[in-house]
Structure 1
Amino acid sequence: MPEARTRTPRERYRTQVRAEIKEHAWEQIAAAGASALSLNAIAKRMGMSGPALYRYFAGRDELITELIRDAYRSLADTFKEAADAGADLAGLAHALRAWALADPHRYFLVYGTPVPGYHAPEDVTEIAAETMAVILDACAALPSDAPAAPFDAHVDAHRQWADGHPAPAPALHRALVFWTRLHGVLSLELAGHFTGMGFDPALLFAAELDDLSEH
């Protein structure tokens, strides 16, 4: 295999500037949400002109796409590392919660309110599918002697979201329930909706996970 071409100083500088732009973008998102993202404001913070910054990102949508791509890549890598280390479905759940708590703004960029007018490109969708594939592997590995649920036949006939994964219908069902219920708890926790209610969100998350493991 040929060695990777050594990057030039100009290429390294470009990479550094793009990384700095993304850091400022995350700061904006943390302060006012993705809908308020402004390349001109970032340029001002960096002491650049607007046209100069547009040499690094063609527009707001390209910058948002890059941030979303990074977020999905981070979660997909987190799941892969957990699975390679032997994590079962419960282990994946705890990896998901740790990832979400580490950076709530990153979590909400991909699992919160969709950015108006934004449509994820195909490669971002493919990265997201990597995460679901790991979940489906874990669900398919679990023994299941429960009777078929009414939803099983439906999900088996509408399995395009599984991207060709051969998991049986009960595993597809379990993966969807795992994904929706745990994201529901995480979204409420990270948005602060449990504040003042007097219980530990971590224990609620664990209880939901226990309930999922019993079915």
Structure 2
Amino acid sequence: MNKRLLILKACGSSDEPHECNGICEQAQLYGIESVCKCVRDNENLESILYSHGLFDYIYLSDHGNSEGFASEDEKVNMSWQKLAMLLCQSKCMNEDSILMLSCCRGGLMEVAYDIFLTCQKICYVLGPRQSLTSADMHICFGIFLYNMEMRRVDPVVACEKIKLATDQRFSCYDREEESISLSNYREMHWGYE
């Protein structure tokens, strides 16, 4: 069975179609079935997650920070915890799924931990640690997909290849490797063990 990729265009920038369509085309070269959707608002995002089956990769293009993400017009505006809750409730992710956050600060530890603590189905969270252009995102995530699908390397190693090729700082958090840190983070930020 082929892998599947859901691309969510939730940013609204003029470059976004080029970035997302490029990722979609590249994924298809690797035999990944790609579904590309424009997200109009929070309710539309929820509807998309519930209605298109199971995915191995979910690619979210948006504006982000440590708290959450939004579109340019702010019709899409959601916390990372709410997104993780929707991903879990919609049951749209296969086992060992990867969430790719194409937004500023999508690779921050705090973002990954909030997502992991809210949804146990997400195994990896990947994103940049700084602000990047759509062209940078396209190239960097393209390198990740190439290393995952063509070279068959581990997601964390595939992420390391991004910096080797571009000098851009990306992080890939692995739920299994972060379990002790997640426990400490939960206690410090969420107030319970």
Asked whether the two chains share a fold, i.e. TM above 0.5, the reply is no
- Give the number of the structure whose alpha-carbon radius of gyration is greater: 1
Report the TM-score when normalising by structure 1: 0.27
The structure whose residues are more often strand, as a share, is 2
Report the TM-score when normalising by structure 2: 0.28
The structure whose residues are more often helix, as a share, is 1
More contact order relative to length (CA 8 Å, sep ≥ 6): 2
